[in-house]
Amino acid sequence: MANKRRLKKNIHAICSDIATECAVTATYIPGSDEQLLSEAIVKSAALLSESMERMSVSFDRTPKDFENKAAYNKARRTYFRKAYKSFTENFEKEVIEILHDLNKSLPSKN
C-alpha cells in the first residue's frame, strides 16, 4: 500500500495530465469536440477534489475491542487494505470514463 502523501501526488499528477491533454487536444486538433473536452476537464478537476476528500478514512475500533493487540492490528490492516482497494478501483473507473470522453472528442478519420 502506498503512503498517503505519494498517493495524493499521484492522483494530482493523473488528474492534471488528463486536463492538460484535453486542453492540448482542444487547441491543436482541428475538428475535436471542444464541449466534450471542456466537460472532461471539469470531470478531471471534480475527480481530483472528490478523491482528496475521500482519501481520509479511519478505523472506528480500538484495541480494547479485541482480545489482543495482534488481533487489533490484523483487523486494522484488513480494514485499510479494503478501503485502499475500493478507493483505487473507484478512481481508476472514473479515470477510464474521462479518457473515453477524451477519445470520443477526437474527430473521426473518415
Can you give the pLDDT at residue 2?
59
Can you give the pLDDT at residue 24?
96
Can you give the pLDDT at residue 48?
97
First-to-final CA distance of the chain = 46
| Inter-residue contact 24 to 102 (CB < 8 Å) | no
CA neighbours within 13 Å on the CB side: how many for 3? 2
CB atoms within 10 A of CB 72: 17
Can you give the pLDDT at residue 3?
84
Gap between the Cα atoms of 26 and 110, Å rounded: 19
pLDDT tens digits in sequence order for the chain, 110 residues long: 558 899 999 999 999 999 999 999 999 999 999 999 999 999 999 999 999 999 888 999 999 999 999 999 999 999 999 999 999 999 999 999 999 999 999 988 75
What residues does each domain of the chain span?
4-105
